[in-house]
Chain A
């Protein structure tokens, strides 16, 4: 097929901003086809999936609560992906942070420990995630191992570690042998924003992270060295930016934010450790980062969109008996569509006359 991609000069901001919207529309069309194929009325499915959750105050709060971990992890991943470092193991860093932070909650359980417990837990959560994230960074810098594969393998290791703890040493002795820890004390729980409802302090943390990350990535030398190291590694080396430090830095930041998301989730909506503490936030956040253009404000929007697929998926599971995998199909399609839309906005497909081969 004699087709060729031609680079478009002077692309308007409008066109660039249109790509995620185009991707959303394409995803909805694919979704409609999928609903019809599954024997459901697409209009009804879409209403349950995407419209009804937006009309109910309780689900709207739930939407924000679900977007919170996606936003935190997604911003961290933006640091990595801007630097062209492929951390795909945020799910493991999330678990590692949740485990280290929960250790303090369990160690102080039933004692007179004061309100310092929660801040210390959050700090430990960030440290736990950062340490877990630094493993693939170290293996890459020291041995040249692919951070893609090592970070992913560590997800399984972290999940098995959590499983061991909640079925073994950290199991609630009075828990009727259920694999879960004790419920955290009040000083170890995230405060609710309005004293009731679903919104918790983690939402504020996530919003502060958006502001700080926007500043660091856009207005500081650190942000510039990350960006340059990713897009022009040789130029970055000539400019004196240390490639190894960038690798360690972006993995530490993304690990810390994933770990923070983990401990916020455990100390917030969940309230105790259990074998499963994430419906795949660490992987969905990859899509959030991409869909949000690796920009913190963009990721804020994309996290809400992706959180809607979780909420809608749960609603469709209950009222239409659709398997939750519909949500994964949506998320995968969305990522594919955004990748394709990105290219089609920047390039134009041209027929090439007389070309013998592609």
Chain B
């Protein structure tokens, strides 16, 4: 009797832990995109930057044997690819939707090229870091406090972004640029430089999310391994109504949907596996509909998606 209870608790703990892991990828990527969008730039290249991060991170970690080096390379790769987008969308004022799509297509191709020689290999996943005292708590201890560095980093990043946007001067300027770039320009703020930095922050975060995917969550390289997570991260930003704390709820909700559908598949209840696999995407659509029906676009930065060209 006691044994089954303990077993149940262990399974529950394992499920919770995998939800946390699935949510972390989404949280990292959506935090970065939120910052880019609060500065007024819609970057649809998240999927591409994430998968480039996954590929470069894996390749570097596998070749050097260092997860830290791999992670840094992933962050750098994501930021570099976002710079391509920034040059197009911010400095040449091209259409942001098309530029973001181009970034994603290019990223998917580059990642496939980089990853092709690593198919079938494995690295040791990022180790779990225990927090003394907390990790020993039953059920939630291992789930929440027996995680790898990426999970803790995502929470620290969430706090930093929330605080930074709301409480610092840099955050205020960034928001001003996103709300009214003409006014921010008139006040002497370098609109395009700020947006470029915000987009590059987003790229770095997407790269980090990719590294989490290929170095911790599933420690190997598979082509197209992001499987639309970058797009779901974009949807989460809309879902959060551009408030960082809401990303936490959104990311964990979607993490839960994507993990629980896997477990339901495992039970074999006669529900087609494909229907369950499409649940995260259907849930994304449902979430977008609900949030847009309720808020009707409120909360979006006023200059979002509008290119800034001085005196044009």
- Using a CB–CB distance below 8 Å, which chain A residues touch chain B? 3-5, 7, 34, 38, 86, 88, 139, 143-146, 148-150, 152-154, 156-157, 160-161, 163-164, 167-168, 283, 286-287, 290, 323-333, 335-336, 339-340, 342-344, 356-358
Contact = CB atoms under 8 A, between A and B. Distances in A.
Interface string B191-235: 011000000000000000000000000000001000010010011
B92 A329 contact: no
B101 interface: yes
B274 interface: yes
B311 interface: yes
Nearest to A334: B102
Tell me the dominant secondary structure on chain A's binding face.
helix
B113 A331 contact: no
A204 to B, nearest CB: 30
The 5 A-B pairs of least Cβ separation, nearest first, read A332-B106, A325-B112, A328-B109, A329-B109, A332-B105
Interface string B123-162: 0000000000000000000000000000000000000000
Nearest to A283: B105
Contacts of A156: 228, 278, 281
Interface in B272-291: 272-275, 277-278, 281-282, 284-285, 288-289
Contacts of B310: 4, 358
B102 A336 contact: yes
Nearest to A161: B274
A7 B87 CA distance: 18
B24 interface: no
A339 B87 CA distance: 11
B272 A339 contact: no
A164 B274 contact: yes
B68 interface: no
A258 B175 CA distance: 40
B94 A326 contact: no
Interface residues of B, number: 58
A91 to B, nearest CB: 12
B84 A336 contact: yes
B80 interface: no
Nearest to B223: A325
B92 A5 contact: yes
B94 A153 contact: no
Contacts of B284: 149, 153
Contacts of B92: 5, 339-340, 343-344
17 contacts: A86-B97, A139-B292, A143-B292, A144-B296, A145-B289, A146-B238, A146-B292, A154-B285, A160-B275, A327-B109, A328-B105, A328-B109, A332-B106, A332-B109, A335-B105, A336-B102, A339-B98
B188 interface: yes
A164 B272 contact: yes
A352 B228 CA distance: 42
B108 interface: yes
Contacts of B116: 323, 325
Contacts of A148: 44, 97
Given A145-B289, A160-B275, A283-B105, A153 B235 contact: yes
Most buried by B among A7, A145, A324: A145
B44 A323 contact: no
B297 interface: yes
Interface string B91-107: 11111011101111111
